[in-house]
Amino acid sequence: MAPLAISVVLAVVAGLLLTGAAPAGVAVAEERVTEERVTTSDGVELDTSLYLPAVTPAPAVLVAHGFGGSKASVDADARALVASGFVVLTWSARGFGTSTGQIALDSPDHEVADARALVDRLATLPEVQQDGPGDPRVGVTGASYGGALALLLAGYDPRVDALAPVITWNDLGQALFPNTATATPPPADTPAGGVAAPDGVFKSGWAGMLFSAGSDPSDGDPSTGTPATGVNPCGRFTAEICAAYTEAATTGRLSPATAELLRRSSPATVAGRITAPTLLVQGEQDTLFGLDQADATARQIAAAGGRVKVEWFAGGHDGAAPGVAVRDSIRDWFGFHLAGTGDDPGTGFSYVVQSGVRAGANTPTSRTLAAPAYPGLPGTAPLLTTPLPLDGGPRQVVHPAGGHPAAITSLPGIGGALGSVAGRISAFAADPAGQSATFRTEPLAASLLVAGTPRVQVSVSRVPGQPAPAEAVLFARITELAPDGRRTLLGGAVAPMRVPVPADGTPVTVTVALPGVVAPVESGNQLAVSIATTDQGFTGPVEPAVWQVGVTGDLTVPVVPGTSATASTVPLGPLLGIVAALAVAVLGWALARLRRRRDTAQPADGDGPPLVVTGLAKTYAGGFQAVKDVSFTVEKGIVLGLLGPNGAGKTTVLRMLMGLVRPTAGTISAFGQPIGPGSPVLARIGAFVEGPGFLPHLSGRDNLRLYWAATGRPAADAHIEEALEIAELGAALDRRVGTYSQGMRQRLAIAQAMLGLPDLLVLDEPTNGLDPPQISTMRDVLRRYAARGRTVVVSSHLLAEVEQTCTHVVVMHRGEVVADGTVEEIIAGGGAATFTVDAPERAASVLSDLAGVRSVEVIDGGVHAELNGTPRGAAVRALVTAGVEVTAAGPRRRLEDAFLQLVGEDRTP
């Protein structure tokens, strides 16, 4: 485990890791530069590389590497920038690669002075564009260790004209000794910020990993594997850094001397005087330098009048390395601010939302949202927040002697991934018994996109008669809870707090800034705040203790509205229209061919059932089996509901039905004709699967007309007016679709699927975004549609709507069919029954005494029970014998009960 974790950490920390071959025409000059400005007498030499573009003079960019790397780590980044016309200078920082000297953690007197000497060097080169004597046109970028250097260099050297730091720190002391508990609430206009308290909790897991990366003996080369000949317990670190780490590792505390040492290496000391345009890129999956670090830097630069743009990407020290989108942003930033080329990238804010759905085996799908400005900066709108009440009162939690066993929520370089797995393995319980208290919200009525730092107030007090030291060290985290029991640790991180607690038992209330996250939370799911006494990633106390913890007030969740953007955060606008127009044209051509082939190749009514699925299976690359041996038949004139929890395989089946995905095994036929990509029978199927897509600059009416015209069929066959009546959009039909709400687009998409009155209508979650009256109307429309001799297949998670709309149901779970039949048959399954009686409470007592009967509930004046094999007649006899009058006895009233019985024991997709 340790070697793998170290390799992952060093791969991300060492550099931006953007790959690519050297472009043609790029010259690389190797040289050695002797440092001229040092405070010691060691004569440090820096190993550098100079990259020259085809055309000079040109602006220059310094590219700094990450911790544990060398100039070789950023070679691909340098080549990408030089291909864009920049002179690029890279170097191995002191103590790394073949450069001499010792690691001083971006000290102003050492690493920053080295970088200033390199700027001096660029001022002497004729290939570099000059702003004045001794003043080259220069930018600086780097990730992690190199990102902090970029900020510090810009703060100490006004010759820096633009900078782009990536996944780096603002306050190194706060990053390694975080303490998010504060005595008073912090400002509410910070999406990812927190207010630090002194003497935080030592992040020993990450600190130890980083110290090991630089502690190899000083005459080896960690970047190339060159062996060392001597042994030095401090490795390549200065004696001062080595002593500070030793003290922190043995005491778990932040001494004043160490605090001052880390403060000198923190961009927070100079951010207020950075005037160069700054692009701050931070990772959303980062337990080393969280979103709060970039937040603090952005606020400090903006408060002093500096120009700053903020981008969050779906990666970080615990996730993917910065990719093409980040490289393009940095290139465009330097292009405009150094070379004067391209459009002004502005000072906005963008963040990436990952859906959890994967394209193939390993590629997560995501979207980028852009806002006009980072919330809360001077002259911008304040941050929007959503308050969510939490349940429950104070609860007791135990801190075991020695702090073991400790909760496992994250490991360096892996984040919360291991914690999520460990939580399912008894030997590695993520929440050891008695060590945590959880406070939940109600299930969300609507989906919520969290973007920033949630906050909550936590109360802590002693428990009379129980051991407790003078202060409590606690760890707060926020998780998403699904109805099926799945837990997702948002941000993969915890927020530690060190809270002094009075001996008299008086509660102390502190405001906790939870880890900054970007997390879409589904409707029906809950958010939960957990307060724990241990975490393996941090150094806690060894004394046993019992604390009483609670939450006061609401969980405050930040929300940053944004518009969809491309990977480089450019609004889609006209480009989307062009792509959509091409898609419509291609689709129209294909449909026209299908319609013509249908007219000549098959009778109108077909020769078989509307849909027959036999032995259907789909296995994706990597071995994930989404669908397994699915079989069912859909007869003419019915409305069939396809049900199942998230991940059951419903949408995969629909996509195979539409010929969008080829099955691994099995067959699908419609009206006696096989279905596959391009099958003629697809012309008889109307479908709405995986969201609507329209030309935003056209009206709803014109979108439908254009779609139908592209099929090549006569306009009279479209039945557009009937479809528009179904949509019930009123005057909005003649407005641009780009102005529509989600519900309006949903209704228009369903109307589009009904154009031409297809014989088989397939709808995926058709009621998403509709209000109750619209849902009721849709219910009637689908029933009438099937009553005219056509067939409807509906995939939905709204069980009550399926029960009221559908005549038949297929229930899927984990890619398989677990039930198939009429709604009445599914409801009656399992032996559950509802009794209408005159004395519900007495009836419940009688039924509870019957052998095998369980889950007896009094509901709406009746009694509901799981008979579990006991005949319904026997239950009625028992009630009558006991003097209870029974006026009705029937099967379970709700499809939801049947569904939960079918998949309730294990609903995890």
In whole angstroms, give the CA distance from residue 212 to residue 233.
Answer: 10
More confident residue, 151 or 210: 151
Give the pLDDT confidence score for residue 224 in this predicted structure.
45
- Of the listed ranges 259-263, 436-440, 554-558, 653-657, the least confidently predicted one is 653-657
CB atoms within 10 A of CB 25: 11
Q: What torsion do the CA atoms of 752, 520, 330, 327 make, to the nearest 10 degrees?
A: -80
Tell me which range, 20-24, 280-284, 581-585, 810-814, is most confidently predicted by mean pLDDT: 280-284
User: Are β-strands 639-643 and 791-795 bridged in parallel, bridged antiparallel, or unpaired?
Assistant: parallel
Q: What was the pLDDT predicted at 42?
A: 58
pTM for this predicted structure: 0.62
Report how far residue 78's alpha carbon sits from residue 140's, in angstroms, rounded to the nearest whole number.
11
Residues 6+ apart with CB under 8 A from 194: 180, 182, 186, 292, 453, 495, 513
pLDDT of residue 216: 59
Q: Which pLDDT tens digit goes with each residue over 545-584?
A: 999 999 998 999 998 887 765 432 233 333 333 333 333 4
Q: What DSSP character marks residue 263?
A: H
Q: Per mean pLDDT, which of 18-32, 297-311, 739-753, 806-820 is the most reliable? A: 297-311
**711-721 pLDDT per residue, tens:** 777 888 888 88
The least confident of 171-175, 487-491, 733-737, 895-899 is 895-899
d(CA 806, CA 258): 68
Q: What is the mean pLDDT of residues 90-116?
A: 93
Residues 6+ apart with CB under 8 A from 384: 375, 558, 559, 560, 561
pLDDT of 146 = 97
Q: Mean pLDDT across the chain, nearest whole number? A: 79
Task: Give the confidence band of 692 by pLDDT, cuts at 50, 70, 90.
Answer: low
Higher pLDDT, residue 415 or 646: 646
What is the rounded average pLDDT of the residues 603-626? 78
How many whole angstroms separate alpha carbon 195 and alpha carbon 174?
A: 10
Fold of domain 825-903:
Alpha-Beta Plaits (3.30.70)
Dihedral over alpha carbons 827, 831, 837, 843 (to 10 degrees): -140
pLDDT at 332 over 90: yes
Residue 633 pLDDT more than 50? yes
Q: Is the pLDDT of residue 355 over 80?
A: no
Pick the CATH number of 386-563 from 2.40.420.20, 1.10.10.10, 3.40.50.2020, 2.60.120.260: 2.60.120.260
Q: How confident is the model at residue 18 (pLDDT cuts 50, 70, 90)?
A: very low
Assess whether pLDDT exceeds 90 at residue 891: no
Instruction: Name the most confidently modeled range: 156-165, 237-246, 899-908.
Output: 156-165
Question: By percentage, how much of the chain surpasses pLDDT 70?
Answer: 79
Query: How far is residue 580's CA from residue 569's CA, in Å, rounded to a whole number?
Result: 19
What per-residue confidence (pLDDT) applies to 191? 60
Query: Which CATH number applies to 573-814: 2.60.40.10, 3.90.700.10, 3.40.50.300, 3.80.30.20?
Result: 3.40.50.300
The model's pLDDT over 516-551, given as tens digits with 9 standing for 90+, comes to 999 888 888 999 999 999 998 899 899 999 999 999
The 3-state DSSP class for residue 475 equals strand
Lowest mean pLDDT segment, chosen from 138-147, 252-261, 618-627? 618-627
pLDDT band at 747 (very low <50, low <70, confident <90, very high): confident
Bond from prior residue into 714 cis (ω within 30 degrees of 0): no
Residue type, 518: V
Per-residue model confidence (pLDDT) at position 418: 47
Show me where the domains of the chain are located: 2-177+187-382, 386-563, 573-814, 825-903
Q: 171 vs 151, 174, 264, 764, CA distance in Å?
A: 12, 5, 9, 48
Categorize the per-residue pLDDT at 349 as very low, low, confident or very high, splitting at 50, 70 and 90.
very high
DSSP H or E stretch at residue 571: none
Q: Which helix (H) or strand (E) holds 119?
A: helix 111-122
Question: What top-level class would CATH report for the domain 2-177+187-382?
Answer: alpha beta
Strand partners, 146: none
Count of CB atoms situated within 10 Å of the CB of 24:
7
* Tokens at 310, concatenated: 């903020």
pLDDT band of 210, cuts 50, 70, 90: confident
The pLDDT value given to residue 264? 95
Average pLDDT over residues 104-110: 94
- CATH topology of 2-177+187-382 equal to that of 573-814? yes
What is Dmax (Cα atoms) for the chain? 106
The Cα–Cα gap between 189 and 234 comes to 43
* 15-20 mean pLDDT: 41
